[in-house]
Amino acid sequence: MIRGFEQVHGIDFNETFAPVAKFVTVRVLLALAAHNNWEIEQMDVKTAFLHPALNEEVFMAIPEGYSEYSHMPSPNSTFPVLRLLKALYGLKQAPRVWYENINKFFIQAGMTRSNEDHSLYFSNDIIILLYVDDLLLFAKDLQIIETMKRQLSTTYQMTDLGPIRQFLGLQIVRDRILHRIDLHQSPYVQTTLTRFQMADCKGIATPMESNSHQSPCLNDTDIINASEYQSKVGSIMYAMLGSRPDLAYTISTLSKHNNRPTHSHHKALQRVFRYLQQTKYTAIRYERSKTEPQVFPKMARYSDSDWAGDKDQRRSTSGYVFTLCGGAISWKSRKQDVIATSSTEAEYVALTEAAKESVSLRCLLIELESRVSPDTTLNLTGDHFRLLKEQ
């Protein structure tokens, strides 16, 4: 049987890494799709890991109850085993082998892999985003997507899911007339509230009390339900990563106490659930600019920090948000690694974090614009990418 958890690195497998699409890339493509009114279709690969052949020798024990080959032991073992010719689910190297296989298919189809996100492929007329076995296809013309679907179906067993409605727990609502896409996670938020018995709680307008301070646990006897606390924080974190930048600072603050949560930490976390109840339908909206509809959309960036906001370690908190087509595409809030000696130093640290993300997003937009809109020129200098600081 496939017992991948028993495989030993360097003996039974080597690399297992397989890239998956970044949330940032998903949001950038949705923003550009809203602006350009692209077609967006979704497909799923059936039993993806069963398609590629293995390059190395891998043996598995005879499944229980299957005795046809039980009398044939392995050449190097007294136990009956079978050699795997293709990857199976549960095998450590299965994701990597699948990615190498689908990557080869896209390259042979004349597509180029992005340097910024290795799950993103594009040609002059189509963009494909890969997340393990889920594919998003973007193009100006639906016929181009249909042609790619036929190519994929000749090599893999595919499920055509039609126009995109949800992806990775993200709900996508389109208005083609207004060139608008709304991105939200209300079903996931409702499921999370129900899971933790908060579906009927009373809503509240803010996730945290203003100027609140959560002190770390100093006494082991005060620790309460660490696993439950971690589960709740993790569930809210997924919503934050997908479509809720308003929760970034709250999650950054509460996750510091994952290992040693106290009653006060649990109480603060309950407030976040009440906030989710109030704002479960909050969405990010991407839409075409009404003033410059034919110009490639400009990206705006905002960066800020506090100074010594952490009263226990005297560290500052950095934060930034990037917007495109009127909606957020990337955000972050985290405690700084160094202790800033002045508010100016704290601001520079925050700007550095924003600049790093800016370089990545800038390169991604250049790749997409040059491939999909070769008839226009993307101006990514000067005011288009000037760091803006919210006071």
1-21: pLDDT as tens digits: 465 555 666 555 666 677 888
Q: Taking the CB of residue 216, how many other CB atoms lie within 10 A of it?
A: 13
Crossing angle between the packed helical segments 343-372 and 23-36, to the nearest 10 degrees: 60
**Is the domain of 223 the same as that of 317?**
no
Mean pLDDT for 294-323 is 88
**What torsion do the CA atoms of 296, 172, 251, 203 make, to the nearest 10 degrees?**
120
**What torsion do the CA atoms of 228, 234, 240, 246 make, to the nearest 10 degrees?**
40
**Is the domain of 245 the same as that of 269?**
yes
49-100: pLDDT as tens digits: 888 877 777 777 776 666 655 555 555 555 667 777 777 777 778 888 889 8
Q: Does residue 80 belong to any structural domain of this protein? A: no
Query: What tokens appear for 136 in the block?
Result: 């998003």
Amino acid found at 115: N
199-219: pLDDT as tens digits: 999 999 999 988 777 777 777
Please say if the pLDDT value at position 178 is more than 70. Answer: yes
**Is the domain of 172 the same as that of 193?**
no
Q: Answer with the one of 154, 179, 204 that is the final residue of a domain.
A: 179
**Is the domain of 158 the same as that of 174?**
yes
Q: Does residue 283 belong to any structural domain of this protein? A: no
Q: Is 366 helix (H, G, I), strand (E, B) or coil?
A: helix
Q: Does residue 79 belong to any structural domain of this protein? A: no
**Is the domain of 18 the same as that of 149?**
yes
Q: Does residue 159 belong to any structural domain of this protein? A: yes
d(CA 287, CA 266): 38
pLDDT, averaged across the chain: 84
Q: Does residue 123 belong to any structural domain of this protein? A: yes
d(CA 373, CA 76): 58
Q: What CATH code is carried by the domain that includes residue 142?
A: 3.30.70.270
The answer to whether the CB of 286 falls within 8 A of the CB of 183 is yes
- Specify the number of domains making up the chain: 3
Q: Answer with the one of 212, 244, 278 that is the final residue of a domain.
A: 278
Residue-level pLDDT at 381 = 36
Q: Answer with the one of 257, 278, 299 that is the final residue of a domain.
A: 278
Residue-level pLDDT at 41 = 96
343-387: pLDDT as tens digits: 999 999 999 999 999 999 999 999 887 765 544 433 333 333 344
Long-range Cβ pairs for the range 354-361 (8 Å, 24+): 354/301, 354/303, 354/320, 354/387, 355/387, 357/320, 357/322, 357/330, 357/332, 358/301, 358/322, 358/385, 358/387, 360/116, 361/24, 361/28, 361/299, 361/322, 361/329, 361/330
Long-range Cβ pairs for the range 222-227 (8 Å, 24+): 222/262, 222/263, 223/260, 223/261, 223/262, 224/261, 224/262, 224/263, 224/266, 225/261, 225/266, 226/258, 226/259, 226/260, 226/261
**Is the domain of 37 the same as that of 164?**
yes
pTM: 0.85
Q: Taking the CB of residue 56, how many other CB atoms lie within 10 A of it?
A: 10
**Is the domain of 300 the same as that of 365?**
yes
Least confident of 44-58, 110-124, 257-271: 44-58
Q: Does residue 60 belong to any structural domain of this protein? A: no
Mean pLDDT for 118-146 is 92
**Is the domain of 212 the same as that of 138?**
no
Q: Does residue 66 belong to any structural domain of this protein? A: no
Least confident of 119-123, 218-222, 280-284: 218-222
Mean pLDDT for 136-165 is 94
Among 206, 178, 191, 202, which Cα is nearest to 239's?
Answer: 191
Q: Does residue 73 belong to any structural domain of this protein? A: no
Q: Is 369 helix (H, G, I), strand (E, B) or coil?
A: helix
Domain that holds residue 109: 4-54+86-179
The answer to whether the CB of 249 falls within 8 A of the CB of 213 is no
**Is the domain of 16 the same as that of 137?**
yes
**Is the domain of 161 the same as that of 221?**
no
**Is the domain of 241 the same as that of 364?**
no
Please say if the pLDDT value at position 284 is more than 50. Answer: yes
**Is the domain of 214 the same as that of 310?**
no
